[in-house]
Amino acid sequence: MAIKLFREALREALIEEMDRDERVFLMGEDIGRYQGSFRVTEGLFQKYGPQRVWDTPISEPGFIAIAIGAAIEGLRPVVEVMTWSFAFLAMDQIVNHAAKILYKSGGACPVPLVIRGPAGPGRQLAAQHSHSFELWMAHAPGLKVVLPSTPADAKGLLKTAIRDNNPVMFIEHPQLYLTRGEVPEDEYTIPLGVADIKRQGRDVSVITYSRGVLVAQQAAERLQQEGIEVEIIDLRTLVPCDWDTVFNSIRKTHRAIALHDDWRYAGFGAEIAAQVQEHAFDWLDAPVLRVAGADVPMPYNKHLERAAYPQVEDVITAVKQVLA
């Protein structure tokens, strides 16, 4: 195992898949000569040239539409959005076209497309650059939604996403790009729809993904000092979602907390709570709790920003509440 940055693991996945399949190409704003806002595509323009690493105009509706057309014609585009907040501009292309073409064609026309980039609160990126986008994507049938939390998962899941014949929305948290972790040096992929138990525990199940996994791990380490053992379920993909792993964990702990950065109202935590209520209610000894972002636009002020999305203290409070 080598220790790599999250963004380095993503870059390795892109290189390996571009070397493996000449149909894979990259496109996005400033990903070539500038090498990407978060340096994920660093060096790839020099390695592969402008035919396979496209710097696009500032027009998300335009270049995502081009990527959909390329995918329909048999190429495998990987589109980087500078931030998923800007993808609001291309919702028609993503939801009305990429997500529906396979269905409308009776299965005759796959769309092997990956759209990847950062989403979620960064560090003082303010309201228009801090959206957690996953619920919007998970709500649209036809889209797969991936949110890795570690460098190893990021690489393995991105390789799988690129090989998938469906449109995959690959959402990376900006606070994870500089995190480090072990990454296997041998060839590997991680299947979509398989959750990972990041920490075993007996007292409460924290169901989360992306940055939430790191927050839950820090909370679990502090709670362990008080004799409380937290089990952490990293969903990794929201569509498809591995509900069996969630239910099996609740069968053991009898308590559940849904954790995510997205707004609390109608966020993915509500779906987690609904699934648990419908399929694991008999095993619960307490209501499902949600730890999520405040229902406000993201403040720029760093103290207000910190209060607007979950912190370690919030998870600790929720765990003690559900155990009371």
Domain boundaries, the chain: 2-183, 196-323
- Catalytic residue flag (residue 173): no
Closest CA to 259 of 225, 233, 295: 233
Cα distance between residue 238 and residue 148, in whole Å: 10
Tokens representing residue 146 in the block: 């991936």
* 8, 29, 129, 231: the active-site residue: 129
In CATH terms, the fold of domain 2-183 is: Rossmann fold (3.40.50)
Do the two domains 2-183 and 196-323 of this chain adopt the same fold? yes
114 DSSP β-pair partners:
78, 168
pLDDT, residue 47, reads 97
Show pLDDT as tens, one digit a residue, over the chain (324 residues): 899 999 999 999 999 999 999 999 999 999 999 998 899 999 999 999 999 999 999 999 999 999 999 999 999 999 999 999 999 999 999 999 999 999 999 999 999 999 999 999 988 888 888 889 899 999 999 999 999 999 999 999 999 999 999 999 999 999 999 999 999 999 999 999 999 999 999 999 999 999 999 999 999 999 999 999 999 999 999 999 999 999 999 999 999 999 999 999 999 999 999 999 999 999 999 999 999 999 999 999 999 999 999 999 999 999 999 999
Please give the model's pTM, rounded to 2 decimal places.
0.96
Q: Which CATH architecture has domain 196-323?
A: 3-Layer(aba) Sandwich (3.40)
* 17, 60, 172, 231: the active-site residue: 60
| CA 185 from centre of chain | 23
- Catalytic residue flag (residue 97): no
